[in-house]
Structure 1
Amino acid sequence: MTHILLIEDEVKLARFIESELNYEGYQVSIAYDGLTGLTAARELHLDLVILDLMLPGLSGLEICRRLRSISNEVPIILLSVKDEVSDGIAGLDAGADDYVVKPFSIDELLARVRTHLRKRHQADTADILEFEDLSLNRRTRQVYRCQRLIELTAKEFDLLEYFLIHPRQVITCDRILEEVWGYDFMGDVNVIDPYIRYLRLKLEANNEKCLIQTVTGVGYTLCD
């Protein structure tokens, strides 16, 4: 059975989400504070974490950072009460895979859950993806340009991986949001631009040629 950890300090909301997830056939564990949630995330074998941004004891952002620092790659969906792009970006930078703004539709949350579980359980087509002098190891999550190891955040890695799976294809921003961020219902395409800049800076740090090209008015492509 798919195991989901819910870290949420609002008891009524937590129990409501638990009930809906149980109805969908998921096993759910609940933690009502940050420290308990972090411990559970480290010790349980999980398929996904739903994590409130504001928690007693330890914030959702800090939990994300600590999990990613130990290479825990379980998908994380953040719940935020602040309807601001900056909060979502902060969460993604901390290692979250997605975020939902309160108040939210339970159908939307369930759709996000299905999206990330589907991505997690899809069989890898290959462990190593290569293009030109760029190499990405999906198992170790290491990226090399020539012999240079490139440190990427979780979302930067996912974005680059997606380009490597679809080389020489022009990919729209809406498609990137849906496939990489998992926004089934909403999402601001402007969130993509800074991640493209971050990737280019890291991939071209030694003046290597640009591989991620902008297709004006459409999106991006990985090409030589």
Structure 2
Amino acid sequence: MASYQTAAVVLGSKNWGEADKMVTLFTYDRGLVEAAAFGCRRPRSPLAAGMQMFSSIEVQLSEGKRVDTVRQCTLKRHYKKLTEDLEVMAYGSFVAEFLREFLPPGQAEPQMFGRLLYVLESFEVRNPRVTALMAMIQLLEFTGMQLHFEHCVHCGQTVDDDAFFSLSAGGILCSECQEPGAELFPDDLRRFILALRDYDWEKPAELKITGSLLMQAEHLFLNYLQSLLGRPLKSLAFIQQL
């Protein structure tokens, strides 16, 4: 079996057998990968530290017919709050589930991988609710399923004032292209969503956030994800229990 080495983040982990795990890895070189980590639940296993949720690792894997096998791994970054703070863990789980659902298996997404590392760092220092929303909006941009908020999705006209929004159309509509079922979309909400989409993780700046705008943006994007999947993400139940 061919082996390969890559940077990765653990996005999913399930116990398997007496001492093993099945893990979902988002890898730099091969995108989403399912792998078996044999013996990693034993206390002295060299894989134990790296096979935890949200671990940033360097990993060596062997290719398999159905799943790959973890041979070696080195823990590069442990995110304390993502593993010890329940609120941060809940919102981190939301981002992880989002990626598991919308990333195509085996397709490298190096830019998305780099963005995820910034998101994980942000969970350690920023409001987890805001971080999760920014992550969802920004990571959607890499999937080809993003919503559009700068130009009318029908005529392409630049929108710089109150407009209309249609989920089925995929974004903003100008007044001339308004269609049945489209809802009035205030400009302050549109600008807020664009600020989250364009947020620079490398040069973090203060964001003007109100509870009302945050709730409206969350509601819009969660409805959109549900329309794509046909069901809500399971991690939302975890968040609602907090």
Q: Structures share a fold, TM > 0.5?
A: no
TM-score (norm 2): 0.28
Bigger helix fraction:
1
TM-score (norm 1): 0.30
Higher Rg: 2
